[in-house]
Amino acid sequence: MEILLWIIVACVLNGLIAFSGALTLLFSRKFTQKLLLVLVAFSAGALLSGAFFHLITESFENIGSVLTFSYVIAGFVIFFLMEKFLFWHHCHDEECNVRPFNYLVLWGDGIHNVIDGLIIAASFIVSIPFGIITTILIMAHEVPQELGNFGVLVYGGFSSKKALFYNFVAQMSCIIGGVLGFFFAGIGKFTELLIPLAAGGFIYIAASDLIPELREEESLGKSLIYMLAFILGVALLLWFKVMFE
């Protein structure tokens, strides 16, 4: 049971990363509003980079390219259908104050964090030192993504407090993965399915919801800033892949 305690503590600490978005509250409201689309661009790049360089490459090693892309497409379609349902449910015949992609971001992040919990559990089962190192790497990887997610949720209609709360709830789904990983050490098949499905969801959110928001900007100067933020999101997640995996 000592290992289970280590796993739960590690997952809780990882969950606290969700509050990194609160750093943006240190700035003025006017500056924060300007920053939101930059964070949207950054998050779009981070989601695509995480999907292609982390989730899909890992899935290749587990189940091969054909099954991987089959599940990626399945994830893309599932998130498309979810968004259509959310749009109908929340926006049908009334003004839509909260964009449906907010809920997709939370669902996608929740699935991603379940996978992180499974990884944390597997690493602690190998050894406690290895588990600690893995947890630190996962937390470092989460900071830029959570900053981006917070910006997306606020831009999509959530208040800052609501964005922080729901982001924290999604991040704490890591505990579910951690507990499942501990009690079902042979749960690899479940993980193998979740990884490409999450990748498909991330690609859908970035390509269908976030990037189109950036295309509405007509100012060349702002467009260049958003492009740089997008490239930074891609590069940072790629750097984590090269340095720590």
The model's pTM is: 0.70
What are the tens digits of pLDDT across the range 57-102?
Answer: 888 988 899 999 999 999 899 888 877 776 655 555 455 566 777 7
Q: HSE of 175 in the Cβ direction (CA atoms, 13 Å)?
A: 12
Choice among 42-51, 57-66, 180-189 with the minimum mean pLDDT: 180-189
pLDDT tens digits for 1-11? 788 899 999 99
Q: Burial level of 59, CB count in 10 A (0-12/13-18/19+)?
A: buried
pLDDT of 217 higher than 80: no
CA–centroid distance for 163 within its chain = 14
Mean pLDDT of 33-55: 83
Q: What are the sequence ranges of the domains in the chain?
A: 2-14+36-244
Which residue has better confidence, 237 or 94?
Answer: 237
